[in-house]
C-alpha cells in the first residue's frame, strides 16, 4: 500500500493510504484508520471545478489608460519667472477612457487608442513650439487643448466609450489632471 504522511496543526500524525488497486483511500490518524473514501470521491474534493462557460464580461465597466510622450518647446508670456523664456520638455500624456467590455473581452484594442491619440494630438504637438497653437501654453491650458481635440473623436461621440480624464506631465514630478467641463 502507498502511504502519504503529513502532520496536522495539532501535531497528530495523519496519513492517506491507498489500497493495492488504488480504488480506496484510507485516512489514518495516529496509526488508526478513521475514514475510508473511494479514490474518485477524494479526487472530486481536491480537484477544483472549472466553470462550464466563460465568465460573462460584456457587463463589466472598466477604465483603461495609455501613456504617450512627445517633445515640444514653449514659453509662458504671462509668467515672470524663468519659464517666460523658450524652453522644452519631454511631455507625458495619460489618457483615461471607460466603458463596457465588449464580447471580445476588451473595451478597445490598445492599438486603436494609440493610433487615435497619435493622429489627433501627438502628431500635432511633437517637436513643435506649442505657442504656435496656444497663446499662453501653461500645462493647464495645454491639457484643455488636448481634451478638446480628443473629444472630437468619433470614438467618444458615437460609442459607449467615454473620455474620463487626461493627465499631462510637464516634468516627471509635476502634472495636471483635466476631467472636462469649464
**Residue 68, class by beta-carbon neighbours within 10 Å (0-12 exposed, 13-18 middle, 19+ buried)?**
buried
What is the average per-residue pLDDT within 24-40?
63
Residues of the chain with CATH 3.30.479.10: 61-178
- 58: pLDDT strictly greater than 50: no
pLDDT band at 6 (very low <50, low <70, confident <90, very high): very low
pLDDT band at 153 (very low <50, low <70, confident <90, very high): confident
Is residue 108 within 8 A of residue 97, CB to CB? The reply is yes
Average pLDDT, the chain: 81
Top-tier CATH class for 61-178: alpha beta
What is the average per-residue pLDDT within 24-33?
64
pTM over 0.75: no
What per-residue confidence (pLDDT) applies to 180? 87
- 40: pLDDT strictly greater than 80: no
- 57: pLDDT strictly greater than 60: no
Is residue 163 within 8 A of residue 180, CB to CB? The reply is yes
Amino acid at each position: 500500500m502507498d502511504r502519504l504522511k503529513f502532520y496536522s496543526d495539532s501535531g497528530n500524525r495523519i496519513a492517506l493510504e491507498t489500497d493495492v488497486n488504488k480504488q480506496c483511500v484510507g485516512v489514518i490518524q495516529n496509526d488508526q484508520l478513521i475514514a475510508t473514501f473511494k479514490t474518485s470521491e477524494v479526487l472530486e474534493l481536491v480537484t477544483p471545478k472549472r466553470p462550464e462557460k466563460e465568465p460573462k464580461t460584456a457587463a463589466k465597466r472598466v477604465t483603461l489608460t495609455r501613456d504617450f510622450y512627445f517633445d515640444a518647446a514653449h514659453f509662458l508670456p504671462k509668467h515672470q519667472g524663468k519659464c517666460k523664456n523658450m524652453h522644452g520638455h519631454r511631455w507625458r500624456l495619460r489618457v483615461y477612457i471607460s466603458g463596457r467590455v465588449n464580447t471580445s473581452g476588451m473595451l478597445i484594442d490598445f492599438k486603436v487608442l494609440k493610433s487615435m491619440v497619435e493622429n489627433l494630438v501627438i502628431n500635432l504637438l511633437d517637436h513643435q513650439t506649442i505657442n504656435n497653437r496656444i497663446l499662453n501654453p501653461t500645462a493647464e491650458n495645454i491639457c484643455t487643448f488636448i481634451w478638446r481635440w480628443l473629444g472630437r473623436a468619433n470614438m467618444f461621440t458615437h460609442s459607449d466609450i467615454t473620455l474620463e480624464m487626461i493627465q499631462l506631465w510637464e516634468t516627471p514630478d509635476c502634472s495636471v489632471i483635466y476631467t472636462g467641463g469649464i
